[in-house]
């Protein structure tokens, strides 16, 4: 691989957060290298629910038409089902003006199109490439060691490095481990995902099933398939011998609606599984020269339907902070101003949202409380709309525009 001597930004991870940051930076004239461990397209454990606000992000990224042409399913509303069958609906059009619908689209399709766009705007993209170590000089991250296939690892220098490696937080953990921080918690939850045939979910609906110790979601994606993604307690998974199919039948289907919808469902793809350490905020700036974005920065509860949105947003926020400070970074100025800008932008956009989601999670994991909440929300469109919008930020202005006016 032929590499420049130095980049403005090194992005490690080619998912929606990493691609978003890379594209926005390249469009603003930054020299960007994106390193992705896998070869795209590839399957990814995800709810594959793209909220309407994401379509606005896609338009700014220049992939709006490409995403709409990918064959995904239009999703007009999300329906939450309590264990006993009571339910409440949240129309997709509540989140944006103009009656836009959500989209069910596989991560294989979405991520591949974003990565292709990154290449098209001048990002240097390396697939099947691992960051084996960080380059640290005088306590500051100045790039990383990258290994492509069987080639010898090479040192890549960058003014800013972005950890977009998802919940693994591969780069941030290296810094935290070297600092002696306690970084791992015992996993209390396990997530599973597969594409199904024969599921009886309602067309145009994303169905959310609540049950003790977890929840799951089902919606159509491309090619007539349904995507089922669910979370269960590690204890229940162990009781089922770790078998995803058995967890689906014995845990998820405790929910009456799930039992009916999934009664004739069969897997069309292998099950994917991952242990979850928890939700909420992580360190945004683990070290000078290193920012976290996407799930590496915060892992929001999947039932909110805003995980993809937060990934795209956080990538754009990081790009906005870097663009604002890029002239001084190129002269070797301190990193602290950039870090402060990113923390401020991130807090303004996400702090309130994360607090609301924490409260909703606590209710979702307790069946009787979830039943009561669904009953109460079902009686008031105003309450449902207000609560749904509290899981989003309502600004329509791009942070890249905001930073230019500050």
pLDDT in tens, 266-300: 999 999 999 987 777 889 999 999 999 999 998 87
Question: What pLDDT sits at residue 84?
Answer: 87
Average pLDDT over residues 172-194: 76
pLDDT digits (tens, 9 = 90+) for 65-90: 999 999 999 999 999 998 888 888 88
Instruction: Answer yes or no: is pLDDT of 207 > 70.
Output: yes
CB-based contact 227:221 (threshold 8 Å) = yes
Number of domains forming the structure of the chain? 1
Domain assignment of residue 40, yes or no: yes
Domain assignment of residue 212, yes or no: no
Distance separating alpha carbons of residues 161 and 334, to the nearest angstrom:
14
Question: What pLDDT sits at residue 186?
Answer: 63
Distance separating alpha carbons of residues 33 and 394, to the nearest angstrom:
31
Q: Give residue for tokens 């950039």.
A: 338
Would you place residue 397 in the very low, low, confident or very high pLDDT band (cuts 50, 70, 90)?
Answer: low
Strongest mean pLDDT among 3-17, 84-98, 107-121 = 107-121
Domain assignment of residue 229, yes or no: no
Would you place residue 181 in the very low, low, confident or very high pLDDT band (cuts 50, 70, 90)?
Answer: low
Question: What pLDDT sits at residue 405?
Answer: 42
Q: Over the chain, what is the mean pLDDT?
A: 87
CATH number of 65's domain: 3.50.50.60
Question: What pLDDT sits at residue 396?
Answer: 54
Domain assignment of residue 141, yes or no: yes
Distance separating alpha carbons of residues 43 and 342, to the nearest angstrom:
31
Tell me which of 40-54, 64-78, 93-107 is least confident: 93-107
- The domain of 288 spans 7-75+98-183+280-363
Distance separating alpha carbons of residues 245 and 266, to the nearest angstrom:
9
Domain assignment of residue 17, yes or no: yes
Instruction: Answer yes or no: is pLDDT of 107 > 50.
Output: yes
Domain assignment of residue 383, yes or no: no
| List of residues 6+ apart from 77 with CB closer than 8 A | 89, 90, 91, 92, 204, 205, 206
Cα–chain center distance at 21: 13
Question: What pLDDT sits at residue 1?
Answer: 56
Domain assignment of residue 285, yes or no: yes
Domain assignment of residue 35, yes or no: yes
């Amino acid at each position: 691989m032929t590499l420049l001597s130095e980049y403005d930004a090194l992005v490690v991870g080619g998912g929606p957060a990493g691609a978003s940051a890379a594209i926005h930076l390249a469009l603003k004239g930054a020299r960007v290298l994106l390193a992705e461990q896998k070869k795209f397209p590839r399957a990814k454990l995800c709810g594959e629910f793209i909220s309407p606000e994401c379509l606005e992000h896609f338009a700014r990224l220049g992939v709006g038409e490409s995403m709409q042409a990918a064959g995904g399913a239009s999703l007009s509303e999300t329906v939450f089902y309590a264990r006993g069958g009571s339910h409440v609906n949240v129309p997709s059009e509540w989140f944006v003006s103009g009656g836009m619908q959500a989209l069910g689209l596989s991560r294989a399709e979405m991520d591949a199109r974003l990565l292709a766009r990154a290449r098209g705007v001048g990002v240097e993209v390396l697939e099947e490439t691992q960051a084996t170590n960080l380059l640290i000089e005088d306590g500051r991250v100045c790039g990383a060691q990258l290994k492509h296939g069987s080639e010898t690892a090479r040192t890549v220098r960058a003014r800013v490095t972005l950890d977009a490696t998802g919940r693994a937080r591969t780069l941030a953990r290296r810094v935290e481990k070297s600092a002696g921080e306690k970084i791992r918690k015992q996993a209390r939850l396990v997530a599973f995902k597969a594409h199904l045939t024969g599921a009886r979910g309602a067309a145009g609906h994303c169905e959310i099933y609540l049950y003790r110790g977890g929840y799951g979601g089902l919606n159509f994606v491309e090619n007539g398939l349904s995507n089922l993604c669910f979370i269960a307690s590690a204890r229940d998974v162990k009781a089922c011998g770790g078998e995803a199919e058995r967890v689906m039948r014995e845990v998820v289907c405790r929910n009456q609606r799930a039992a009916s919808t999934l009664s004739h469902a069969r897997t069309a793809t292998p099950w994917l599984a991952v242990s979850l350490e928890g939700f909420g905020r992580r360190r945004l700036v683990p070290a000078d020269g290193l920012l976290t974005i996407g799930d590496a920065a915060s892992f929001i509860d999947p039932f909110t339907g805003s995980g993809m949105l937060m990934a795209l947003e956080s990538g754009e926020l990081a790009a906005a902070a870097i663009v604002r400070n890029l002239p001084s970074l190129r002269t070797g100025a301190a990193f602290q101003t950039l870090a402060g800008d990113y923390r401020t932008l991130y807090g303004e956009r996400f702090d309130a949202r994360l607090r609301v989601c924490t409260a909703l999670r606590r209710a979702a994991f307790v069946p009787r409380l979830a039943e009561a909440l669904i009953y109460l929300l079902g009686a008031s469109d105003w309450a449902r709309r207000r609560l749904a919008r509290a899981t989003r930020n309502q600004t329509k202005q791009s942070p890249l525009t905001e930073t230019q006016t500050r």
